Structures are given as structure tokens and as C-alpha cells.
């Protein structure tokens, strides 16, 4: 049942705790790399269970973790800025409704435009550091620091979230990836 050819990596998920068990053991987390194979009607998906230890810092994993944290914090700041701007506009609109007069002291256009320092005084420097980290090379979800073995358990199954379609061919590494407990806590 050889796959042959190439299967492009389409999506990477991290699950806490692991969804797969190896020899009855559930691990701290799991990385799932979904691939698309052009010649088959299945998605080969490689899963690596993750074990956290006090001294297990994984430098390669750290790059992905920092990028995820950056995007998460940026999106949180964008949402907070949008919500603050919306509340200000609503408060001003409600204050002026029914008064019959126009408030010439408020520049509504400037207030409605997007402007934020992303809630961080050092945002520019922080963003440049993350961009530099990401430009050091392409992040490879098959790097040996993330996938520590060439041996896999294999079975035909389903995706683990809705719509739960049964088009997944699972390949689970037989050896866990190691990260630090600090990295696991940040991942949660």
C-alpha cells in the first residue's frame, strides 16, 4: 500500500494533551502534520507525540512557539484596539443622539482609523525579531528535532474534529518529541 510521489504539507496542529496513545501511554501533547496527496482520496497525516521534561528544551520547536505567540498576541491586541475604538464611537454617538446639535470638537474620522502600538511599547523591535527568526530559513515540520524517528505506527482513520471524515491515513512516530515543561506551559 505504498504512497509513492509527494504529498504537500497543508496544515500543522498542536493538541494538548496528545490524542494518540503509544502502548497505552498518553503524552503531554501532539503535533499533527496534514498532507495532501494529489493521486489519492486520502490525507496522509503524520503525528508526533510530545513529552515534556524539565531539561528538554527544544530549540527548533522554540522558533515555531515564538511565531505562534507573536501572531496570537498581535491578534489579541488588534481585537482589543478594535473593541476600544468601537466602544468610543458608540459612546459618542449615544451622547449626541437626540441633542439636535453636532459635536465639532470630536474628530470622528481620526478616531475611526486604525492606529495602535499593539499594546506594547517595543512592538516594532519585537516584530522585527520575530520576522528575523522566521526568515532564518523555512520552518520544516519534518525536522529531526520535531520528528525524532523514521518509524511509524500506521492506521486508517478519521480527522479528530468535525466533520470527522474518514479520509485520514495516520502515521504516528514511535518515539516522542521532547520539549521543556516551560515550552509546554507556553503552548497551552
Residue 40 lies in a domain: yes
65/125 same-domain check: yes
| Range 161-182 average pLDDT | 94
User: What would the pLDDT profile of 82-117 be if each residue is shown by its tens digit?
Assistant: 788 887 777 777 777 756 565 566 565 555 554 454
Do 51 and 72 fall within a single domain? no
Three-state DSSP state, 137: coil
Query: Is residue 140 domain-resident?
Result: no
Q: Is residue 129 part of a domain?
A: yes
pLDDT of residue 137: 58
DSSP of 112-135 = HS----TT-TTHHHHHHHHHHHHH
Q: Which residue in 134, 11, 140 sits closest to 63, CA to CA?
A: 134
* Residue 165 is assigned to a structural domain of this protein: yes
* In a shared domain, residues 20 and 80: no
Total structural domains within the chain? 2
Q: Which residues of 43-65 are buried (b: 16+ CB within 10 A; e: fewer)?
A: bbbbbbbbbbeeebebeebbbbb
Average pLDDT along the chain: 83
The residue to which cell 520576522 is assigned: 131
**CATH code at 162?**
3.10.200.10
Answer whether residue 48 is part of any domain: yes
What is the per-residue pLDDT for 100? 56
**Is 1 within a domain?**
no
At 41 the pLDDT is 76
81 domain residue, yes or no: yes
Residue where the block lists cell 454617538: 93
Residue 169 has pLDDT above 70, yes or no: yes
Does residue 26 form part of some domain?
Answer: yes
According to the model, what pLDDT value does residue 74 have? 80
pLDDT of residue 148: 96
Residues 99, 41 share a domain: no
Looking at mean pLDDT, say which of 21-25, 117-121, 134-138 comes out highest. Answer: 21-25
The answer on 129 and 72 residing in a single domain is yes
The yes-or-no verdict on residue 180 having pLDDT over 90 is yes
State which residues form the domain around 95.
Answer: 61-135
Are 120 and 100 in the same domain? yes
Amino acid at each position: 500500500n505504498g504512497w509513492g510521489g509527494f504529498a504537500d504539507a497543508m496544515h500543522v496542529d498542536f493538541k494538548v494533551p496528545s490524542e494518540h496513545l503509544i502502548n497505552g501511554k498518553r503524552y503531554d501533547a501532539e503535533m499533527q502534520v496534514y498532507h495532501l496527496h494529489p493521486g489519492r482520496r486520502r490525507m496522509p497525516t503524520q503525528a508526533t507525540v510530545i513529552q515534556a521534561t524539565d531539561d528538554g528544551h527544544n530549540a527548533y520547536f522554540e522558533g515555531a512557539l515564538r511565531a505562534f505567540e507573536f501572531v496570537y498576541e498581535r491578534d489579541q491586541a488588534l481585537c482589543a484596539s478594535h473593541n476600544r475604538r468601537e466602544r468610543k464611537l458608540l459612546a459618542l454617538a449615544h451622547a449626541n443622539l437626540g441633542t439636535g446639535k453636532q459635536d465639532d470638537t470630536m474628530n470622528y474620522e481620526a478616531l475611526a482609523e486604525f492606529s495602535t502600538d499593539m499594546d506594547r511599547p517595543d512592538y516594532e523591535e519585537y516584530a522585527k525579531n520575530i520576522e528575523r527568526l522566521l526568515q532564518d530559513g523555512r520552518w520544516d515540520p519534518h525536522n529531526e528535532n520535531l520528528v525524532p524517528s523514521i518509524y511509524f505506527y500506521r492506521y486508517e482513520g478519521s480527522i479528530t474534529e468535525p466533520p470527522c471524515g474518514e479520509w485520514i491515513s495516520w502515521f504516528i512516530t514511535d518515539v516522542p518529541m521532547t520539549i521543556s515543561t516551560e515550552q509546554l506551559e507556553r503552548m497551552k
